[in-house]
């Protein structure tokens, strides 16, 4: 019951919205969403209520955050390089 | 389609996942001793078990689930109240994972089998629809869940509702769950991953006094595999640097102040009160009760609920060998329990952690029973 699911708003009628969740259409209520929602927005659904409009720019910000965490710890470059080296090395063993 | 957004944005990108795992390994190595961190959310445990994330963590890091299942901590006598109402002929509506939750003697599933009007709903708004459809019945919504779910119940309380509709609240409050663990003198938890969806409502600022007081950093995390790995990477970094700060690793959903209109709705309807959590103890400010001004729709005030006929005063889960209490406090894992997957299975659960899809025993059972893949084949 605690599962939060993101979906895309297809239509709005007052405090009710029709939202697409990975191909499943469902009615959601907009009583407690944090900011105004329009058709095409992504919202987070929790037990039939939108609890958050997910701004697309902030989704990208999260990815930037992952990379930032990696850069701080200095793990990214050499590990990805190690992956590539590993794959090249594995390829050499093939007949 | 929503799928496009997430496919495009690579929240499951293997290269990033490997790099984050490496960052975690380095942080833990720099700490130089075994450490334990805790999350307090069933949805986090689902993601961790489903994607086998423990398999990529270093041996020196224990990732432990705490009291993060609001259904599991709902106490037997609270279930008894709903069972008693059903026995009185009241139509009781609730979320699916509450159905098999044992009361002191019986569950709502038992009450339904005996002919009680018990209905599973996906949303509290469906309970209101049922009240409209059955004007001759009293309809009670048994509201469970943390503040993320309580806010939906609160929104319904504020909206016009049919006269035959009322609410039986067993809602719980997340910050109290972390306080419970931190207050155990012997706890070895040194950092916390906070539940992202509850924090959407309350904001991450709410954890700052906790971090300052306990000296444990708190990182708010989302639910994709990379969200969780990034949160653990940041948490172990803060632990390494001995910085008891709060960090928001879920900025696409969580802000410092949270969802203010939702908070207003929540606190207009509910107030935190101290109450017993199943298998744990009295938890200060752990339960969300309807405020007195909502007496008209509070089932506890509308009905004289007499649980005597459905109660087993001697019920003691521990007597049956169930260790749910220790599991919920992070002191044991499901595989430590002699009943786990033997006499205790989802179809006939002994303890609450096997009942709810948010319970750790149920989650480990669902994902093969061995979510810590480091142990496979050893």
Q: Residue B374 domain-assigned? A: no
Comparing alpha-carbon positions, the chain A residue that sits nearest to B197 is A4
| Mean pLDDT on A43-60 | 86
- The answer on B278 and B155 residing in a single domain is yes
- The answer on B324 and B301 residing in a single domain is no
- The answer on A41 and A78 residing in a single domain is no
Say what the pLDDT of residue B10 is.
Answer: 62
Alpha carbon separation from A30 to A47, A48, B93, B125 (Å, rounded): 12, 9, 22, 12
DSSP structural state of residue B337:
-
| Cβ-nearest to A48 among B122, B196, B259 | B122
- The answer on A76 and A61 residing in a single domain is yes
* B contact residues 137-166, partner A, Cβ 8 Å cutoff: 144-146, 148-149, 151-152, 154-155, 158-159
* A contact residues 19-48, partner B, Cβ 8 Å cutoff: 20-23, 29, 31-34, 42, 44, 46-48
Residue B2 predicted with pLDDT over 50 = no
Q: Residue B278 domain-assigned? A: yes
Comparing C-alpha atoms, which of B260, B377, B279 is closest to residue B322?
B279
CB within 8 Å: A66 and B222: no
**pLDDT tens figures, B19-59:** 999 999 999 999 999 999 999 999 999 999 988 899 999 99
- The answer on B276 and B160 residing in a single domain is yes
**pLDDT tens figures, B309-364:** 888 877 665 557 889 999 999 999 999 999 999 999 998 888 899 999 889 999 99
CATH number at A11 reads 2.30.30.140
Alpha carbon separation from B146 to A79, A80, B163, B216, B270 (Å, rounded): 39, 39, 26, 22, 12
B34 CB neighbour count, 10 Å cutoff:
12
Complex ipTM: 0.81
**Count of the separate structural domains present in chain A:** 2
CB within 8 Å: B262 and A32: yes
Say what the pLDDT of residue B12 is.
Answer: 77
Residue A86 forms contact with B (CB below 8 Å): no
Comparing C-alpha atoms, which of B106, B74, B93 is closest to residue B308?
B106
How far apart CA B235 and CA B247 sit, in angstroms, is 8
Residue B153 structural domain: 76-173+258-310
**pLDDT tens figures, A67-94:** 777 776 655 544 444 544 555 565 554 4
- The answer on B166 and B265 residing in a single domain is yes
Q: Using an 8 Å CB-CB cutoff, list chain A residues near B145.
A: 1-2, 47
CATH number at B185 reads 3.40.50.11750
How far apart CA B306 and CA B298 sit, in angstroms, is 15
**pLDDT tens figures, B151-191:** 999 999 999 889 999 999 999 998 888 888 888 888 899 99
How far apart CA B187 and CA B225 sit, in angstroms, is 27
Say what the pLDDT of residue B328 is.
Answer: 92
Q: DSSP of B21-79, one letter per residue?
A: HHHHHHHHHHHTS-EEEEE--HHHHHHHHHTTGGGGS-TTEEEEE-S--TTTTS-HHHH
CATH number at B290 reads 3.40.50.11740
- The answer on A27 and A45 residing in a single domain is yes
CB B277 within 8 A of CB B73: yes
**Count of the separate structural domains present in chain B:** 3
Residue A80 forms contact with B (CB below 8 Å): yes
How far apart CA B92 and CA B102 sit, in angstroms, is 16
Residue A83 structural domain: 57-93
Residue B279 predicted with pLDDT over 90 = no
Residue A75 forms contact with B (CB below 8 Å): yes
CB neighbour burial string for B207-220, b if at least 16 within 10 angstroms, e if fewer: beebbeebebbbbb
* B contact residues 95-124, partner A, Cβ 8 Å cutoff: 95-98, 122-124
């Amino acid at each position: 019951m605690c599962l939060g699911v993101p979906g895309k708003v297809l239509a709005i009628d007052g405090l009710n919205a029709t939202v697409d969740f990975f191909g499943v259409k469902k009615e959601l209520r907009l009583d407690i969403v944090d900011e105004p929602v329009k058709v095409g927005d992504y919202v987070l659904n929790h037990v039939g209520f939108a609890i958050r409009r997910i701004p697309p720019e902030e989704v990208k910000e999260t990815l930037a955050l992952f990379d930032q965490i990696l850069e701080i710890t200095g793990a990214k470059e050499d590990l990805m390089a190690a992956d590539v080296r590993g794959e090249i090395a594995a390829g050499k063993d093939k007949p | 389609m929503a799928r496009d957004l997430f496919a495009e944005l690579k929240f499951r990108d293997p290269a990033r996942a490997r790099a984050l795992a490496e960052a975690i390994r380095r942080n833990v190595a720099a700490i130089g001793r075994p450490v334990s961190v805790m999350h307090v959310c069933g949805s986090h445990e689902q993601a961790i078990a489903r994607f086998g994330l423990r398999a990529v963590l270093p041996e020196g890091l224990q990732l432990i689930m705490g009291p993060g299942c609001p259904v599991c901590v709902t106490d037997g006598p609270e279930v008894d109240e709903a069972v008693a109402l059903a026995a009185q002929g009241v139509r009781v509506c609730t979320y699916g994972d509450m159905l098999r939750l044992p009361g002191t003697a019986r569950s709502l599933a038992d009450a339904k089998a005996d002919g009680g009007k018990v209905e599973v709903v996906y949303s509290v708004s469906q309970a209101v629809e049922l009240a409209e459809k059955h004007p001759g019945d009293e309809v009670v919504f048994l509201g469970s869940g943390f503040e993320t779910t309580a806010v939906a119940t609160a929104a319904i309380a504020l909206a016009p509702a049919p006269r035959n509709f009322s609410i039986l609240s067993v809602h719980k409050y997340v910050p109290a769950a972390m306080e419970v663990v931190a207050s155990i003198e012997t706890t070895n938890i040194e950092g916390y991953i906070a539940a992202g969806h509850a924090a959407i409502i309350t904001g991450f600022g709410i954890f700052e006094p906790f971090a300052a007081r306990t000296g444990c950093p708190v990182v708010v995390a989302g639910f994709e595999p990379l969200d969780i790995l990034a949160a653990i990477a940041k948490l172990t970094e803060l632990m390494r640097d001995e910085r008891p700060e709060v960090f928001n690793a879920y900025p696409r959903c969580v802000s410092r102040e949270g969802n203010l209109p939702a908070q207003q709705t929540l606190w207009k309807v509910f107030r935190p009160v101290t109450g017993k959590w199943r298998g744990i103890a009295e938890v200060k400010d752990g339960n969300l009760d309807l405020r007195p001004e909502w007496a008209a729709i509070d089932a506890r005030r509308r009905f004289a609920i007499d649980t005597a006929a459905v109660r087993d005063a001697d019920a003691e889960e521990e007597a049956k060998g169930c260790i749910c209490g220790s599991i919920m406090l992070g002191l044991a894992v499901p595989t430590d329990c002699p009943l786990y997957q033997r006499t205790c299975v989802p179809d006939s659960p002994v303890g609450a952690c096997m009942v709810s899809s948010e319970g750790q025993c149920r989650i480990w059972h669902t994902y093969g029973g061995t979510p810590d893949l480091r142990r496979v084949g050893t």
